[in-house]
Amino acid sequence: MKILHTVEEVREWRNNVITNGGGGGSSVGFVATMGCLHEGHKSLISQSLKDNEFTVVSIFVNPSQFAPTEDLDKYPRTMDEDITMLVSLGVNILFAPNAHVMYPQGIPLNVEEQRGPFVTVLGLSEMLEGKTRPNFFRGVATVVMKLLNIVSPNVAYFGQKDIQQFIVLDTMCKELFVNTKLVMMPIIRDEKSGLALSSRNKYLCEESLKIASNIYRGLKEGQLHVGRSREDIMKSIEDVWQPFIDSGDFEVDYISIADFKTLKEVDTVPTRTTTTQTPNVVLSCAIYLKDRANSNTVVRLIDNILI
């Protein structure tokens, strides 16, 4: 695996693929990450390796998607382990730029102080995750646009766990006519507990990880109530979570039952007749979970089910 750090190095490699890799017909798959790779990333990378002649992975902890109050400094960084995993999978290129490469004018966390071009997908970015993280999707859209412009992949893979991120990025690519197809891959869950894998799970002790698995248990209970009213679905989820709210482990940020394309809240939830049919509705949530080993640690976890 080649490890590249600059835009010029990646461009040179990409131009070689076009010139020497089968007359421009060789496809390049891309997986953007912030490192601390786990089985969820592995599934995206494996799919890219299967579908394409070449696979590029980026590792860049993107400052512009963190608010000044969020965990940018604390965000887990495990570059050596990540490289070992990428080599063992057979990835061709790791692109690991520094902040200066990605943001030549610097990137202060305070939005008022930021300079340079930024990408905003209006409408989709302000709802759900965007309510508590107002500049999050602006940061994500900006960095992904930059990465796509650098790598020029044919296909880019993103996880369903960050479903709103996928919908924002897919809209960005379609409406800014970016010549890359985006593919959404299913959520990878802990086999026993069903907890969605996330780099932020690392912040939690064993006991809190077990408690966290009730997030998915609640959503599944909600799914069982599809066909009933929106209120019934909401209540069935809250009933599962109530003991953990009462114990102070959970604080619910939101539960959403929204249209898969527009993310607008819906009153009725039509069932999907086949699994190949595009989902109608996303049942999603964000929960603040207090770590039992260290009550100063509060981790915001998201999860969703497609209906």
Residue 4 or 32: the one with the smaller Cβ distance to ligand PAF is 32
Shortest spacing between CB 146 and ligand PAF, in angstroms: 10
Residue 59 or 257: the one with the smaller Cβ distance to ligand PAF is 59
- The DSSP output letter for 278 is P
The count of C-alpha atoms lying within 13 angstroms of the C-alpha of 203, restricted to the half-sphere facing its C-beta, is 20
Shortest spacing between CB 31 and ligand PAF, in angstroms: 9
x/- track of binding to ligand PAF for residues 65-104 (CB under 6 A): x---------------------------------------
Residue 28 or 143: the one with the smaller Cβ distance to ligand PAF is 143
Residue 62 contacts ligand PAF per CB under 6 A: yes
For ligand PAF, the binding residue among 129, 162, 221, 303 (CB under 6 A) is: 162
For 103-107, the CB contacts below 8 A with 24+ separation are 103/63, 103/64, 107/63, 107/64
Residue 140 or 283: the one with the smaller Cβ distance to ligand PAF is 140
Q: Exactly one of 5, 38, 41, 225 is catalytic; which is it?
A: 41
- The DSSP output letter for 220 is H
Q: What angle do CA 303, 83, 166 make, to 5 degrees?
A: 30
Shortest spacing between CB 198 and ligand PAF, in angstroms: 10
Beta strands in the chain (DSSP E): 2-4, 28-33, 54-59, 93-95, 155-159, 181-185, 250-259, 281-290, 298-306
Judge contact between 59 and 35, C-beta under 8 A. Answer: yes
- Look up residue 175 and give its two tokens: 């409406």
Contacting range for ligand PAF; rule: CB under 6 A; set: 12-20, 28-36, 172-180, 235-243 = 28-36
Could you confirm whether 41 is annotated as catalytic? yes
For ligand PAF, the binding residue among 28, 34, 124, 141 (CB under 6 A) is: 34
For ligand PAF, the binding residue among 91, 119, 144, 156 (CB under 6 A) is: 144
How far apart (Å, rounded) are the C-alpha atoms in residues 272 and 106? Answer: 46
Query: According to the 3-state scheme, what is the secondary structure of 74-134?
Result: CCCCCHHHHHHHHHHHCCCEEECCCHHHHCCCCCCCCHHHCCCCCCCCCCCCCCCHHHHCC
Contacting range for ligand PAF; rule: CB under 6 A; set: 113-121, 137-145, 231-239, 281-289 = 137-145
Judge contact between 54 and 93, C-beta under 8 A. Answer: yes
Residue 148 contacts ligand PAF per CB under 6 A: no
Judge contact between 24 and 18, C-beta under 8 A. Answer: yes
Shortest spacing between CB 225 and ligand PAF, in angstroms: 30
At what angle are helices 39-51 and 79-89 packed, to 10 degrees? 30
Shortest spacing between CB 272 and ligand PAF, in angstroms: 25
Shortest spacing between CB 226 and ligand PAF, in angstroms: 28
Q: Which residues contact 23 (CB under 8 A, 6 or more apart)?
A: none
Strands 2-4 and 93-95: parallel
Contacting range for ligand PAF; rule: CB under 6 A; set: 75-83, 138-146, 148-156, 298-306 = 138-146
Residue 72 or 234: the one with the smaller Cβ distance to ligand PAF is 72
For ligand PAF, the binding residue among 37, 57, 121, 140 (CB under 6 A) is: 140
Q: What are phi and psi of 224, to 5 degrees?
A: -65, -20
Residues with catalytic roles: 41
Instruction: List contacts with ligand PAF (CB under 6 A).
Output: 32-34, 62, 65, 140, 143-144, 162, 165
